[in-house]
A and B are shown apart, each in its own frame.
Chain A
Amino acid sequence: MDPVFAFLALLTTAGAVAAVSLRNLVHCALCLVVAFAGLAALYLQLNAQFIGFAQILVYVGAVAILIVFAILLTRGSEPGNQPILSSSWQAGLGVAVLVLGALGVAVASSFVRYYPVSPAPQPTVRELGEQLMTNYVLPLEVIGLLLTAAMIGAVIIAMHEKQGPR
């Protein structure tokens, strides 16, 4: 295995595991950022520059800040006193193993494996832009509309306070 890939995979996995197992929620959020950054580095290693940097821009720059603010605004940053593992963790582990087994069998016996491996494309930013503006223009517009609607909805919810008595 490529040592760079091994390092990045280890970093991403460690970040993800820490994000669900640490006590302090802000620490969890910061570890999640490590996992995001590791994913971005994995994209870069696959030579997908634009996706990799867009991942950093969106996830490390915006989503992480959103998560951190949500944590700070909704609850205190003091760690709770409940145990990290829930009481039924054995059952959860069993379900996880079953799902992994089922998925593994499904993938192993599917015909996807027999498809010829297509040569890796060189996705330049220009090509991505051209595809988005020609073949995928409708999905792009639909997503744009959806996000605008969601944003207007969020603004209306936030503005509700002003309607009340002053």
Chain B
Amino acid sequence: MQEILDQLFVLLKAWLVGFFPLPWQPLVSILISVAALILVFALLFAVATILERKGLGRIQNRYGPNRVGPCGFFQPIADGLKMLIKEDIVPSGADRVVHFLAPIALVAPVLLAFSVLPYGRNMAPIDLDAGIVVFFAVGAGTELAVFMAGWSSRNKYSLLGAMRAIAQMISYEVPLILSSVTVIMIVGSLRPIQIVEAQAGYQGWLPAWHVFTPWGLAGFLLFAIAATAESNRSPFDMPEGESEIVAGYFVEYSGFKFALFFMGEYFGMFAISGLAITLFLGGWHAPLPFLEKSIPSYVWFFVKLFGFIAMFIWLRGTLPRLRVDQLMNFAWKFVLPMTLLNILAAGLWRFLPAGATRWLVCLVILLGAFLALGRSMVARRKWSPRKYRFAE
């Protein structure tokens, strides 16, 4: 019974595919996966928006949306309808073709990124040998979409927002990839399924997830920081910076195109959280041994995903926005050296004999680097009136 519950969606798909003639089956199988992905994540997008607005309201000591439906939980439906029937305004100076293509070019790559993540036992939409590379490759495509949106609007605020977004995304892509390299080194594979399988099993009560090793914990924290910046979420949301550049690269978008940008941001957040779960948090494995059999694997994946969404909302409600120079200094002077040292620590972990020694060695390297880098960043700062070189 539990087996069937665990494989419910796999069996359902196999049953549906069975209705079609043999040559059609691969195509139908892919189409079913695509439909399921779009449906699940669009629904999750709606749930995440209402949770975010409610959660932010709670943090900021107000109610949040509470008019549509029970406790305001039908608000996303109302919002979606509003977006669909709003007038689509294109500025007269805009480059119409590029302006039209930009939202599509933003959402399509993120949807592609969903296709390589394993959501449960036997539940990866496509099983690629280079799955992690695929994820980062399609993620790189979104930068160009952001540029297209910012440039084609012919608005200086949107162009500034696009510039900020691209600078930020390129800077944080490096630590993002370097912090996931540790996992690839230890597992010895770029296949997401194999990475999840490497984290199966338990040592006593502790699951064998990568986050419970010194390099894994450091890698996970660095990955989470870079992921927050990569998905343009607060405290790294200068590309949108309402107080300075109105709304960044999508100022000139309205109606459903704006909704697509909004959706792209949330989808990016889900995708990168899914990758963090796959790399560090054991994918669809349960946190405790006796829960492994009783609760289906995909439930665990989505429980962890909701944990990430809650963390993102919490961060957004708590932390103030950074300045551009702070963001860049943090990326290149702290996060990047830490990821490089973390790769060294992971290499040592792989070749030192198991036991307390390798824990000690890795911890000394990482904590020492953390303290030294942190201290140097604070110490080097000379507090003096700011000089504006360009904006005078």
Contacts and interface: CB of A to CB of B under 8 A. Distances in A.
Given A65-B170, A126-B189, A60 B129 contact: no
User: What's the dominant secondary structure at chain B's contact region?
Assistant: helix
Contacts of B133: 49-50, 53-54, 57, 125
A103 interface: no
Interface string B135-153: 0111111011001100100
A64 interface: yes
A57 B151 contact: no
Given A49-B128, A68-B151, 10 more contacts: A30-B98, A30-B144, A30-B148, A49-B130, A53-B134, A54-B137, A57-B133, A61-B143, A62-B140, A62-B170
A-B residue pairs, 5 tightest by C-beta:
A61-B140, A56-B137, A53-B137, A57-B137, A53-B133
A148 interface: no
B269 interface: no
Interface centre among A26, A27, A57, A60 (most CB of B within 10 A): A57
Nearest to B191: A125
Contacts of A45: none
A39 interface: no
B221 interface: no
A33 interface: yes
B344 to A, nearest CB: 17
A57 B113 CA distance: 13
A124 interface: yes
A61 B147 contact: no
Nearest to B140: A61
Contact of A124 (B95, B129, B138, B141): B129
Interface residues of B, number: 24
A69 B151 CA distance: 11
B129 A125 contact: yes
B50 interface: no
Interface of A: 24, 26-27, 30, 33, 49-50, 53-54, 56-57, 60-62, 64-65, 68-69, 72, 77, 124-126
A49 B133 CA distance: 9
Contact of B137 (A24, A30, A61, A69): A61
A64 B144 contact: yes
Contacts of A50: 129-130, 133
A62 B98 CA distance: 19
Contact of A61 (B129, B130, B141, B189): B141
A124 B314 CA distance: 41
A26 B144 CA distance: 12
A24 B94 CA distance: 13
A65 B130 contact: no
B147 A57 contact: no
A1 to B, nearest CB: 21
Contacts of A49: 128-130, 133-134
A33 B144 contact: yes
Interface in B208-260: none
Contacts of A24: 95
A14 to B, nearest CB: 15
A27 B140 CA distance: 19
Interface string B87-100: 00000000100100
A124 to B, nearest CB: 6
A69 B146 CA distance: 13
A152 B141 CA distance: 27
B96 to A, nearest CB: 12
Contacts of A64: 144
Nearest to B98: A30
